[in-house]
Amino acid sequence: MSHQALWSEVRPPSTADVSAAFGVDVGELQRHPGGFEADAFTDGRWFVKLWREQPDSDAALALTAELATRGIPVPAAQQALDGSYTSEHLGRRYALFPYVEGRQATWDDIDEMARAMRAVHEITDLDLPRAPINEWCIEALRDQHGHPWIADRSEEILANVDRLEAVIEQARASDVPNVVCHRDLFPHNVLIDRTGSVTALLDWGHTTLAPREHDLFTALCGPDPVRFLTAYKAEGLNSIHLEYARLARSLRDLAVRVCNQVDQDGINTWGIEGLRRVDADLAQARPFCNP
């Protein structure tokens, strides 16, 4: 089931609405493939992201311009006429970006993705919040373990919840350097141009200063973790933070679907199957970690 099919259709803001909010003349906006959190539209020059629930903060959207000035391929959000970075449409918030041509990355683009992630991690001096090491999914899954979508696997899920809680305590006690972390740098947030190079890194709404492992767990979710980590030139990784990030991602993916009662198929694809791979994934990363 596609993300788009999970949500009702919505029309885009009008050209007059966008002009009044952002002072920009756009053409007729057509639907563009969106994601789990937002609907998207474009006229081929501009790109509108219309959030379904909580929009990215103004600080996160302003960050896109700062990253672009640092040489990171990021489309910079357009500032609205009132000084903010979003406007309202049908009770929801939307932002405006320059449209970037490119195809969505796949796991075949591992090397380019890894090198782009490394470039982001080399930035350490931005004024960003530090990521707290805690997870809402722990309480949510304990409350929802009897939900009919997961009740038959509740014992397995709760064992992983307990494991995550224990790993969080270890991660909090493990002091490692913090870098700029995207925290969702998967293929769906990467665009590739005709030469095979990264042309855009998208969706910076969850960016924080965090251990690099909080991004590098992405490598473990793909088909070739060793290739990704080699292209990144990974060494001396912290295994505790890597375990935390990898385990938390699968449990969050599971919890968000149960709690919002959307994408039942994703319970298996993004949740259960991911949880059952955690230890095998971590074993592949072990040569890149500190002893």
Among the three residues 80, 99, 118, which one is the final residue of a domain in this structure?
A: 99
Each residue's pLDDT tens digit, 58-106: 999 999 999 999 999 999 999 999 999 999 999 999 999 999 999 999 9
The pLDDT value recorded for residue 2 is 39
What mean pLDDT do residues 220-245 have?
Answer: 97
Q: Are residues 51 and 151 in the same domain?
A: no
Q: Which of 15, 210, 195, 186 is nearest to 107 (CA)?
A: 186
Distance CA 65, CA 126 (A): 12
- pLDDT tops 60 at residue 1: no
Q: Which two tokens mark 267?
A: 């319970």
Q: Are residues 138 and 202 in the same domain?
A: yes
Average pLDDT along the chain: 94
Q: Residue 85's domain is classified under what CATH number?
A: 3.30.200.20
- pLDDT tops 80 at residue 4: no
Q: Are residues 50 and 130 in the same domain?
A: no
Q: Are residues 274 and 143 in the same domain?
A: yes
Q: Are residues 148 and 253 in the same domain?
A: yes
The pLDDT value recorded for residue 33 is 84
Each residue's pLDDT tens digit, 27-38: 999 999 877 789
Among the three residues 99, 127, 161, which one is the final residue of a domain in this structure?
A: 99
Q: Are residues 134 and 63 in the same domain?
A: no
Q: Are residues 79 and 168 in the same domain?
A: no
Q: Residue 276's domain is classified under what CATH number?
A: 3.90.1200.10
Q: Are residues 196 and 164 in the same domain?
A: yes
Q: Are residues 51 and 169 in the same domain?
A: no
Q: Are residues 42 and 58 in the same domain?
A: yes
Look at the chain and report how many structural domains it folds into: 2
Q: Are residues 58 and 124 in the same domain?
A: no
Amino acid at 9: E
Under a CB-based contact definition with an 8 Å cutoff, are residues 33 and 4 in contact?
Answer: yes
Q: Are residues 232 and 93 in the same domain?
A: no
- pLDDT tops 70 at residue 270: yes
Among the three residues 45, 79, 99, which one is the final residue of a domain in this structure?
A: 99
Each residue's pLDDT tens digit, 142-180: 999 999 999 999 999 999 999 999 999 999 999 899 999
Query: What Rg, from alpha-carbon coordinates, does the chain have?
Result: 19
Distance CA 281, CA 278 (A): 5
Region label for 126, one of left (φ > 0), alpha (ψ between -120 and 50) or beta (otherwise): beta
What mean pLDDT do residues 212-216 have?
Answer: 98
Domain around 58: 4-99
- pLDDT tops 90 at residue 9: no
